[in-house]
Homo-oligomer: A and B are copies of this chain.
């Protein structure tokens, strides 16, 4: 058994069953071994950022790692931006990186680079295989790091000769340790105005239902903006997410005397601005950590609710959204249409950037769905995360809501959707600008928009035609310019399976 085959068999034993990959020469033995280990599903991506983003989306939905397989330092480099997002999402990922054969490394060949240096920028731990015999045992250690709650990116660098040489035994994965449930203490018992910020694993079914009891008892409940997966829609208790800009976020926290963190950090603004705060907690507000990032926040919430004796709570559910009538295509109309038509149990990957607020304001009236936001601010994650979510959950509809500027970072995602027949609809919000930079230009006080600076924000010269780009990659696509057209096309996308793209001109 070659090292490559041993690696695959060990990964499968440890529950790693999908590999998003873009292989090269040094990974040929790994590719060949796929034929002997059919339990591992290889998913080809035509650009590495699709691989890393897909692994992130997969991990967010299943809570366990997929593997990625990339080609030497430069292949890894192309995956780093979405690995950065995955790191901020605390997604478990087993990142395999091929390397020159050990004998060849002495010669500083063209593709030689410091792969460890590339990997360390996003990795919890970088392993370098030391012999083919150690493959099984090392792969187990890599998976153990990746699966430590809530999840890490662990890299394994595999020299080509360790892939092609005879390996030792297949590794056996130990049970994954469960996160600790912290103690509650006296939280919530003092006078004052209590707030709680939910992150990590608490922003789903059980955690949200527990938080609803706190809300009914007068707590202000908010969701960490970086929570990687949030259950939402009718039937769920839907606290507000923290706002993006400092002022509105500060308003959400104003007046609190005590803020309790559950698998979340104290909120800070996304960017720093000349005359605005970075740290958003009000002066004098006490901050309490109920559960750290690596602890069982849902268990802690359960203990808190029990210690306070809070009963099961109900909450005001929004009315179901209704399909909007025809008219000009606006963000508000798109939001209403998506809310009315969204398939029950859909997975929504959000990279709308400036187009987001009106859509997100409408979505609480939709059928229940899982919401996957951008966590690390790397652009180009929306569609790759959609790829991974669709591979993870083949029976659920995936909806990618995508800005036109951000769509251009990883459009290769569409090819993989077509190749794998993934049930993903991508809605492009085509405003023909880096619209967020219009806002940021003003907020930062830069006050540009003479001819040269305007040209750096205007992406409409020439106009991008996403219908052609998507069709060129094998995905059905259509442009819509009225609300009626959007309703028709989005509705059809909800009823029928398979990848498609809707370019919404707004």
- Which A residues form the contact surface with B (CB < 8 A)? 4, 21, 23-26, 28-29, 31-35, 38, 42, 44, 46-47, 49, 72-75, 77-78, 80-81, 84-85, 88, 100-101, 103-104, 106-111, 113-114, 117-118, 120-122, 160-161, 164, 225-226, 265, 268-274, 278-279, 375-380, 405, 408-409, 411-412, 415, 418-419, 436-437, 440-441, 443-453, 455-457, 459, 461-474
Contact = CB atoms under 8 A, between A and B. Distances in A.
B472 A467 contact: yes
B42 A456 contact: yes
B32 A453 contact: yes
12 contacts: A25-B440, A31-B441, A32-B447, A34-B452, A42-B453, A77-B77, A104-B272, A106-B278, A113-B121, A408-B415, A418-B462, A472-B472
Contacts of A377: 72, 74, 110-111
Given A34-B456, A164-B444, A437-B28, A270 B110 contact: yes
Contacts of A443: 25
Given A271-B26, A376-B74, A450-B35, A464 B415 contact: yes
Given A31-B446, A35-B452, A78-B409, 6 more contacts: A23-B456, A24-B440, A33-B448, A46-B405, A164-B446, A464-B472
Contacts of A32: 441, 446-449, 453
A298 B380 CA distance: 45
A268 B108 contact: yes
Given A32-B448, A109-B268, A408-B412, A44 B456 contact: yes
Contact of A455 (B29, B44, B279, B461): B44
A269 B445 CA distance: 53
A34 to B, nearest CB: 4
